[in-house]
């Protein structure tokens, strides 16, 4: 209950902050319009107070639109791209509503003035910038308070299998999510802890555990147990007292964007419609060509220096060229900067692990900041790869995984990518191929141009963050079936 009150305070302060930012943007736009004579000097300078009607309408329009976009329901983690999209849409729609409202409402009143068009544009642009800045600052303050224990939700995770371990690992590595992980619930008495988190009891003990430990939220991570068992566990959680989240089963995971169609009156669940998305593939290809050309031109000096450094550090070729599986399972030759010794695969294929002894010193740095992937812009330009898509594997591993991982080959319905949905969600390197496949198939089922842009921006942000912090890539714990991670 205490954390719910804190969330209410967070939401209320965010509304106030957005309002202040809209006012500041409007006042700054007024000053800019008077100071800068564009598109021409003002014929008649009007006092700022005369624009109060438009300002009030813009505050109401922007706040109402952001509320409609659920921007005052604060999720635990939100992509900056998604947040910018919502702020951009909210301010744009809110500004248009304000202009339309003021044109009809303030007619024949003291607020009826000829609003300078440039000032409206300035107010719109500055409101986007200031609101986004304010929200990032607000989020940083919330994260800092969570680090000090303020507003953390006390959490129980139900399950000790692979999915539960991945969720626990993500929570332990992501304190900004705001969870205080109290323990794990499972009926296996021989298991005492999971990744250092104590096992507190069985699902039947949930009512007592929730009361004893003042639990705020329960995450049920048991997709392998089936719906009947999940419903049983939910019944123990006293729905009215704690928040309940359930990790979806495999079908729910890949079919999150389903629609209802009919066949002569017979309802059908449409998971994917190629006819609706076919023409959009043209935009994806155009984006790939443009991105590859920009990447090759922009990074060409760095690529030249990297090639020279590789030659000077160790004997062997500059590039590492290896056969990988791409669209529809067709093989192609993927190009990378060589990051290992020349004889790294003399004993056969092997995936790269953390602190792999086969890596050169320069190669370890290149892999950490992902500069070894830059030559793949050539693959993208040639149409063998895309900027975004499932990461390609070697044919050897594809033949293994297709026998062990359900629906593995469906990830080959899209071109292989330089980055992908699994990678921006932390599943890169020596990680569980089963979990990576779930994310890859979700991407193939939910692909859009906007999703690609979001993944590209998140990739650039993560690279910059790792480079700035000097954090090495950490392999996620997972199945015995793993991918090359290259």
Q: How far is CA 214 from CA 241, 253, 380, in A?
A: 10, 30, 52
| pLDDT category of residue 113 using cuts at 50, 70 and 90 | low
3-state secondary structure of 44: coil
What's the pLDDT at 479? 38
Asked whether the predicted pLDDT for residue 416 surpasses 90, the reply is: yes
Q: pTM of the full predicted structure?
A: 0.61
Residues 367, 361 contacting (CB under 8 angstroms): no
Q: Of 138-147, 423-432, 457-466, which range is least confident? A: 423-432
Chain mean pLDDT for the chain: 80
Nearest to 461 by CA among 92, 185, 453, 412: 453
Residues 73, 37 contacting (CB under 8 angstroms): no
Asked whether the predicted pLDDT for residue 356 surpasses 80, the reply is: no
Instruction: Tell me the two tokens of residue 45.
Output: 């300078």
What's the pLDDT at 43? 55
**How crowded is the C-beta side of 164, counted as CA atoms within 13 Å?**
25
The string of pLDDT tens digits covering residues 276-321 is: 455 677 888 999 999 999 999 999 999 999 999 998 888 888 998 9
Non-local CB neighbours of 344 within 8 Å, separated by 6+ positions:
350, 358
What's the pLDDT at 107? 58
Q: Of 189-193, 404-408, 452-456, which range is least confident? A: 189-193
- The CATH number assigned to the domain with range 153-247 reads 3.40.50.20
Choice between 42 and 322, residue whose per-residue pLDDT is larger: 322
What's the pLDDT at 433? 83
| pLDDT category of residue 22 using cuts at 50, 70 and 90 | very high
| pLDDT category of residue 239 using cuts at 50, 70 and 90 | low
What's the pLDDT at 257? 53
- Residues 237-266 have a mean pLDDT of 61
Domain boundaries defined on the chain: 2-147, 153-247, 280-469
Q: In 148-301, which ranges are E strands?
A: 153-158, 179-185, 193-194, 197-201, 217-220, 243-246, 259-263, 266-270
């Amino acid at each position: 209950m205490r954390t719910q009150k804190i969330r209410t305070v967070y939401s209320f302060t965010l509304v106030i902050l957005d309002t202040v930012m809209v006012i500041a943007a409007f006042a700054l736009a007024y000053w800019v319009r008077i100071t800068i004579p564009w598109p021409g000097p003002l014929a008649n300078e009007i006092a700022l107070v005369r624009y109060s009607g438009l300002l009030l309408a813009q505050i109401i329009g922007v706040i109402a639109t952001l509320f409609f976009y659920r921007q005052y329901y604060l999720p635990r983690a939100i992509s900056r791209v998604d947040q910018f999209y919502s702020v951009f849409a909210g301010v744009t729609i809110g500004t248009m509503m304000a202009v339309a409202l003021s044109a009809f409402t303030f007619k024949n009143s003291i607020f009826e003035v000829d609003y300078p068009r440039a000032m409206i544009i300035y107010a719109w642009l500055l409101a986007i910038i200031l609101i986004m800045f304010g929200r990032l600052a607000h989020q940083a303050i919330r994260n800092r308070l969570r680090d000090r224990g303020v507003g953390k939700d006390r959490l129980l995770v139900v399950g000790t299998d692979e999915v539960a371990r991945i969720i626990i690992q993500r929570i332990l590595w992501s304190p900004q999510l705001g969870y205080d992980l109290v323990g794990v619930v499972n009926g296996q008495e021989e298991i005492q802890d999971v990744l250092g988190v104590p096992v507190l009891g069985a699902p039947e003990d949930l009512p007592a555990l929730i009361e004893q430990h003042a639990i705020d939220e329960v995450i049920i991570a048991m997709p392998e147990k089936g719906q009947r068992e999940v419903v049983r566990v939910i019944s123990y959680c006293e729905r009215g007292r704690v928040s309940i989240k359930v990790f979806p089963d495999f079908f729910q995971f890949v079919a999150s964007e389903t629609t209802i169609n009919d066949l002569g009156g017979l309802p059908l669940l449409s998971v994917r419609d190629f006819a609706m998305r076919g023409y959009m593939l043209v935009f994806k290809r155009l984006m790939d060509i443009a991105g590859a050309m920009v990447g090759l031109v922009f990074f060409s000096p760095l690529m030249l220096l990297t090639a020279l450094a590789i030659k000077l550090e160790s004997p062997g070729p500059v590039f590492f060229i290896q056969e990988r599986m791409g669209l529809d399972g067709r093989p192609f030759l993927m190009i990378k900067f060589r990051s290992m010794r020349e004889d790294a695969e003399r004993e056969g294929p092997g995936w790269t692990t953390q602190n792999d002894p086969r890596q050169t010193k320069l190669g370890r740095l290149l892999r950490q900041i992902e500069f070894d992937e830059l030559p793949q812009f050539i693959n993208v330009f040639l149409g063998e790869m895309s900027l975004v898509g499932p990461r390609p594997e070697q044919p050897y591993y594809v033949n293994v995984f297709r026998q062990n991982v359900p629906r593995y080959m469906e990830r080959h319905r899209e071109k292989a990518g330089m980055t992908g949905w699994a990678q921006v969600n932390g599943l890169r390197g020596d990680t569980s191929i089963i979990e990576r496949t779930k994310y890859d198939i979700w991407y193939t089922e939910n692909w859009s141009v906007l999703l690609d842009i979001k993944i590209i921006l998140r990739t650039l942000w993560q690279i910059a963050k790792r480079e700035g912090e000097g954090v090495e890539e950490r392999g996620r714990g997972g199945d015995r079936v793993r991918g090359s991670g290259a």
